[in-house]
Structure 1
């Protein structure tokens, strides 16, 4: 096989497996030296663990060893730090004593030389720092795995955060990715993992995301796109990007004066409503997944702040991902089928989402889903947390041919992380107490035809109208303390029912009122009792009459414009 000697690895802008392999094949001493460096450090660590188990003090060693592991990952550089950050959000894989230490890897790392940081900024901006900033803190205010942040003030007066990338970052990252991928290819088949694909595929996905994260121009674009989605949301703050003072390795953005969401004491002292902050955080995460399809894949405590006005601020948009329109629809379908306990249809959703192969015999899967998820999403739904769901689901992954697609691994990580942040604010928090009402409100109020169709699927089963389901949806949607106004929905509903598109539903509703050979007056009364507080009778009547008039006028307008016969 012929190899082409590649150019400097520092010129690589995206993850390219062929270029990385060729580069290190020509320089085998680099991965070999790195392998021995990593092996030596971890061999000392595992030897100490074994010593503790045999002759040490088991009650004291976990804290000491957790601190030692954090220091090892820090010393080994950005690649291992990113792995440690990922583990810090996985309570199902990492003991609690280790998680506390690993969370320090999120934004509490040693900075690099401040003179070098200044040099990088001036090289990237092609001008002295004084040309852009009237004030610039020489010492960083925060340091993370891929860069550090300096506080500054632009010459135009705005207070900003200047994010500067660590030197030789691509060289360190590509070396670790090359070594990690080789180990995955060699030893992956022998590991007791049921991933549905090779371990090297996961390394490649990790590499792609890592290269996206170290491109600050892309991060700035991600930030602006995220801000556009939340432009009408008064509860979410996104910093402004200052492009004239930004480049590939330098990003200048609006300074955020906030409190870390994990700093419970300061949040309480400020007088902020913790329950409201939690609801904003969870609902904004659900909006990203189910409405926008563009989601923050790394919402750890260092990237989320509470503002004194009650808003939540997101920062650091390096790790983002995009859900396709089809997957957004499939996710909504899965939630609908889950709410209805329709496990056969849910199995089909898992196939479309990639959790199951198309050839999977769902007759075997359905009883397993019913057994695992039946209790979780039954009457006790408000008492369940997301980690309980993932723990239960992990049993299915090992017993049945489930796999977790790479994109959904990011989603799961994002949700588990958000729940972890919420739990730090409220130890009794249950994510489904917020998520379930959000889904119900969206089903009842969303104007899109896609969601409207899902609502119809919920309300009609086997040709019969499900009165209890509608009552449950309205009841659930009004919980969790969020404002819930059904007035606009009622008007849209009337318009839809009077339209040609709504004729089948109109006919089914007429039959529903008299189904089973009786008039469903009691159900109508119960429904009105739920709706009355959210839609005043006068407003509802006015909306109905207005819509009837508008629809009638629209239908008559073509007739009015016909030419009269002479």
Structure 2
């Protein structure tokens, strides 16, 4: 199969798909004689190109700042389901670890691997996730092709759009390579189980001794998919409570602990007969830096309180909007965001259309998303989709605010009880007194430093470069006027014109 990855037809289809993505971002319909792939055909293109592009499409399906609604709707239809491996391929990656009754027909088959059920010698039922044959080589080859074509397309885009696209591709490449290793998924599951051991969410137990880079062996968790309405009705599941539990858990993951399961589609979120949520597949687990987490909290709190200044500041701190973006230009965008938070009567369709409209407005100013935010948005969009599929007026953004407000002390690192807080403060008192003493010393000696963000640095560098260029150009014009006089004094008129132009350039800088 790897031989066919570089076939001319496949390379052209990759080129055409990526060109379509880039042109859609630029709001253009064609480049030279090549037209965009039509929205209703893009799914077949992606399925033809295979696992890497299915994963990429799932990430891009949340980027309403990149694509128009008709393309987003098609991208959202792409599911990570592929035919099972052949018997010959399965035998090359499967290792018999003494399993009893290994079922060779998979119960689930996706782009990276497939899941089989089996029993251990002690009678325990297990789920074995087996990596597809040669999937690591296929993914690495696709990333090489994507990276090469990206270099060709880069000059078509502005600085900030280019940064955002590169962030998507870079993060996608890093993520999918990790997903092809069952050892990395095992490590994710171990860490996840430790951090959230006290939650009411069920995770599979792992069998580290009989797992390897091709196979991950886990306990078999009985349940049914979150979107299985038939069983939800049959077992009288309280779906409103289940959705609340899921939202609460994702607030805990993304905004409090900063470590979250980034792929909560219905095939990875199950419910058992006792109405407990089961989370599966830990190939895509992401960390959120403390700084990003706190800025997101500020963003949500500002939206909830309708605080324009705090919201804009948080946007700039997150890198969503460039430092030099005029505040007046952001006002209309922020106003529409606040509407989402304040309007309880929005229907599902209206809310989605409003979200598209808000994101379309981002084209008016330099806009980019940090890599962490891409997966937060994706997970949030999936969770909201699960909620709106059952509750007509479910508003994923608005419904998390009461939970977030209640948990802000924990999110910013506060302790559970007053005694814990006092104890911690007493422990840190000597260090804090040292900081105060050092700060006063720096103030008295004029050594206070100021920290500025990367976007501020880029803005200042750009502004300085422009001013220096103008200064140099003005001086060149003045020096040219003197040079003309030295060469030929009869050219006083031309020399005077150059001199005046140079002086005006120096005086009337932009």
Aligned pair in 2 of structure 1 residues 201, 367: CA closer, same or farther (>3 Å)? closer
In the alignment, what sits opposite 1:375?
A: 339
> Would you say 1:313 and 2:278 are equivalent positions?
yes
CA distance in 2, matches of 1:288, 1:493: 26
Q: Please tell me whether the aligned partners of residues 217 and 247 of structure 1 are also in contact (alpha carbons under 8 angstroms).
A: yes
Tell which has more relative contact order, 1 or 2 (C-alpha 8 A, sep 6+): 2
1:190 matched to which residue of 2? 156
User: Structure 2: which 5+ runs fail to align?
Assistant: 20-37, 428-510
- 1:212 corresponds in structure 2 to 178
Distance, in Å, in 1 between the alignment partners of 2:258 and 2:240 is 26
The superposition leaves residues 115-147 of structure 1 with CA deviations (integer Å, 9 ceiling, x where unpaired) of 42133122xxxxxx1x42112001111100111
Matches within 5 A, 1:106-145: 106=80, 108-122=81-95, 129=96, 131-145=97-111
Q: Distance in 2 between matches of 1:437 and 1:351?
A: 25
CA shift for structure 1 position 276:
0.9
Q: 1:408 to 1:387 in 2, by over 3 A?
A: farther
Aligned to 2:264: 299
Query: How far does residue 304 in structure 1 lie from its aligned partner after superposition?
Result: 0.8
TM (normalized to structure 2)? 0.69
Alignment correspondent of 2:58? 85
* Among 360, 366, 389, the residue aligned to 2:324: 360
Contact in 1 for aligned 2:54/2:78 (Cα 8 Å): no
Aligned to 1:347: 312
Deviations 1:291-344 (A, max 9, x none): 110111111111111111111111111111111112222222222222222211
TM-score under structure 1 normalisation?
Answer: 0.63
- Partner SS for 2:222: coil
SS at match of 1:157: coil
Matched, 1:334 2:308: no
- Give 1:462-541 correspondences, 5 Å limit: 492=418
Is the Cα–Cα contact under 8 Å of residues 202 and 277 in structure 2 kept in the other structure? yes
- SS of the aligned residue for 1:237 comes to coil
How far apart, CA to CA, are the structure 2 residues paired with 1:314 and 1:374?
32
Q: 1:237 aligns with which of 161, 177, 202?
A: 202
Q: Once the 2 structures are TM-superposed, how far is the Cα of residue 259 of structure 1 from its aligned partner?
A: 1.1
Residue equivalent to 1:30: 6
Looking at structure 2, the residues matched to 191 and 355 of structure 1 have their Cα atoms a distance apart, in angstroms, of 17
Counterpart in the other structure of 2:47? 74
**Aligned mates of 2:4, 2:105 — CA distance in 1:** 37
Checking the alignment, whether the CA contact within 8 Å between 2:15 and 2:149 is kept in structure 1 is no
Aligned equivalents of 1:367, 1:408: Cα separation in 2: 22
C-alpha distance in structure 2 between counterparts of 1:151 and 1:401, whole Å: 50
Q: Are residues 494 and 73 of structure 1, via their aligned partners in 2, closer, same or farther at CA, if it must alter by over 3 Å?
A: closer
Say if 2:138 is the partner of 1:162.
no
What root-mean-square deviation, in Å, do the aligned CA atoms of Structure 1 and Structure 2 show?
A: 3.7
Q: Which runs of 5+ in 1 are unaligned?
A: 1-9, 11-26, 44-61, 123-128, 453-488, 502-566
- Which moves more between the two structures, 392-401 or 364-373? 364-373
Identify the match of residue 173 of structure 1 among 139, 147, 154. 139
Alpha-carbon displacement from aligned partner over 1:133-189 (angstroms, at most 9, x marks no partner): 112001111100111111111122221111111111122212222222222221244
Q: CA deviation at 1:212?
A: 1.2
Give how far 1:233 is off.
1.6
Measured after TM superposition, the shift of residue 202 of structure 1 is 2.6
Task: Check whether the contact 1:160–1:254 (CA below 8 A) recurs between aligned residues.
Answer: yes
Q: Are the structure 2 counterparts of residues 272 and 89 from structure 1 closer, same or farther at C-alpha, using a change threshold of 3 Å?
A: farther
Relative to structure 1, is the Cα distance of residues 160 and 450 closer, same or farther in structure 2, using a 3 angstrom cutoff? closer
- In the alignment, what sits opposite 2:79? 105
Equivalent of 2:370 in 371, 396, 405: 405
Cα pair distance change 1:158/1:88, threshold 3 Å: farther
Q: Aligned pair in 2 of structure 1 residues 120, 373: CA closer, same or farther (>3 Å)?
A: closer
Q: 1:433 to 1:402 in 2, by over 3 A?
A: closer
**Partners of 2:42 and 2:18 in 1: CA distance:** 8
Q: Does 1:224 align with 2:190?
A: yes
Q: CA deviation at 1:429?
A: 2.1
Spell out, residue by residue over 1:513-533, the C-alpha distance to the aligned partner (whole angstroms, 9 max, x if none). xxxxxxxxxxxxxxxxxxxxx
Deviation at 1:72? Answer: 4.6
Structure 1, residues 506-561: CA drift from partner, whole Å, max 9, x if none? xxxxxxxxxxxxxxxxxxxxxxxxxxxxxxxxxxxxxxxxxxxxxxxxxxxxxxxx
Conservation of the 8 A alpha-carbon contact between 2:59 and 2:375: no
Aligned residues of 1:288 and 1:295 also touching (Cα < 8 A)? yes
Residues 35-54 of structure 1 aligned to structure 2 (within 5 Å): 35-36=11-12
2: CA distance, partners of 1:33 / 1:136: 39
How many residues align? The count is 403
CA contact (8 A) 1:376 1:384 kept: no
